[in-house]
Amino acid sequence: MSRSVLTVADLSATEIGEVLDLALQTKAGENSCPRSLEGKTALLIFQKPSLRTRVSFELAVDNLGGRALYLSPPEVGIGERESPEDVGGVAGRYCDLIVCRTFDQSNLERLAAASGVPIVNALSDWEHPCQALADVLTIREHGGTAGRTLAYVGDGNNVARSLAIAAAGEGMDVRIASPSGYELDEASITVASQRAVGSGGSVTAIGNPDEAVDGADVVYTDTWTSMGQELEAKQRLEAFDGYQVDVDLVGKASPDACVMHCLPAHRGEEITDDVLDGPRSIVLDQAENRLHAQQALLAWLFG
Ligand code: CP
Ligand code: NVA
């Protein structure tokens, strides 16, 4: 049966651990990159722009011996030119795997049902599971996950949702600070909290960014205006006033805290240049780990 990763919760905390262990071993050269996709074709369907996700998936497929075919936003039109069922049904006849970046989470579910091949979520409005795998991998490398505190400051969005669930499953104390009306939904907090029960972590929604960051080991933020929300940009800029990750806010964290951002950053909005480019920032390690985490995920799915 084909196994899809539409949300980060499609992988148990144990399975995420297996993927990350594999990523660390391969990255360290302890085992050679498996040829798990030899003779296989991955179709990358992207309905939104991408630098990191597209490049890292193309390289991962290539490193695993497979072939990647990329379809850019204007080319497919899931739900516009053709229904998700028709796209999935056709793509499943040509390809062994679909990596898809889309708007509505239901597009992924419908592709999965119609295609019969594994679907990997390369970002939807709801989740960004591959980002979360790379993020947790990066935190493991920078001081470890279990028992440490992650403060997410900003929009309760796709990145926050996947990150909270993955980090809670690794035993982190996750604090999320968002302005009123932009909080992570209760159902996602519950999923993350359930993961925390098994791992010894915790999940707390805190309105005040200073309180969330107080003594934290990792400070994380993402854009206030995600792809597809451009018309709300002005209103969001006002709503997120006071939630910028700047030197003062980072100064409230642990003295050796790391700063993370999935990128792309809106410099001067959710994060200042001096923090993003400063000594605490691990954003390039994080970006690099997209490759290692996704390569391990595909090797694990096809292993
Ligand atoms: N972080 C991330 O997903 O970046 P891209 O949008 O460039 O893929
Ligand atoms: N939340 C952002 C993440 C980009 C990688 C977005 O969805 O645009």
d(CA 189, CA 74): 35
User: Residues 66-104: pLDDT tens digits?
Assistant: 999 999 999 988 999 999 999 999 999 999 999 999 999
Q: What is the pLDDT of residue 70?
A: 98
251-279 pLDDT, tens digit each: 999 999 999 999 999 999 999 999 999 99
Q: How far is CA 214 from CA 17, 31, 93, 163, 208, in A?
A: 28, 39, 52, 19, 10
pLDDT in tens, 218-252: 999 999 999 999 999 999 999 999 999 999 999 99
pLDDT in tens, 107-128: 999 999 999 999 999 999 999 9
Q: Residue 1 pLDDT > 70, yes or no?
A: no
From 54, 55, 152, 158, give the residue whose CB has the most ligand 2 atoms within 8 Å, as the site to mutate. Answer: 158
Tally DSSP H helices, then E strands, for the chain. Answer: 13, 9
Cα 55 to middle of ligand 1, angstroms: 9
Separation of 286 CA from ligand 2 center, angstroms? 15
Enumerate the active-site residues.
Answer: 101, 128, 131, 222, 262, 290
Q: Encoding tokens for residue 192?
A: 């993350």
Compute the distance between CA of residue 5 and CA of residue 245 in angstroms, rounded to an integer: 31
Where does the chain have alpha helices with state H? 13-27, 52-63, 73-76, 84-94, 105-115, 129-141, 158-169, 186-199, 209-213, 233-239, 247-250, 273-276, 283-301
Q: Distance from the CA of 235 to the center of ligand 2, in angstroms?
A: 17
pTM of the model: 0.98
**pLDDT for res 76:** 82
Output the CA–CA distances (angstroms, integers) from residue 189 to 10, 62, 174, in the order listed. 16, 36, 10
Percentage of the chain exceeding pLDDT 90: 96
Ligand 2 midpoint to CA 244 (Å): 17
109 Cβ neighbours under 8 A, 6+ residues apart: 6
Q: Angle at the Cα of 76 (from 70 to 79), degrees rounded to 5?
A: 140
Pocket of ligand 2 (CB under 6 A): 123, 157-159, 222-223, 226-227, 262
Mutate to test the pocket of ligand 1, among 48, 262, 270, 291 (most ligand atoms within 8 A of CB): 262
Atom of ligand 2 nearest to the CA of 123: 7
Asked if residue 143 has pLDDT above 90, the reply is yes
Distance set, CA 75 to CA 48, 95, 269 (Å): 11, 17, 32
The average confidence (pLDDT) of the chain is: 97
Q: Which residue shows structure tokens 């950053």? A: 265
- Ligand nearest the Cα of residue 53 is 1
Q: Domains, the chain, ranges and CATH?
A: 8-128+289-302 (3.40.50.1370), 143-281 (3.40.50.1370)
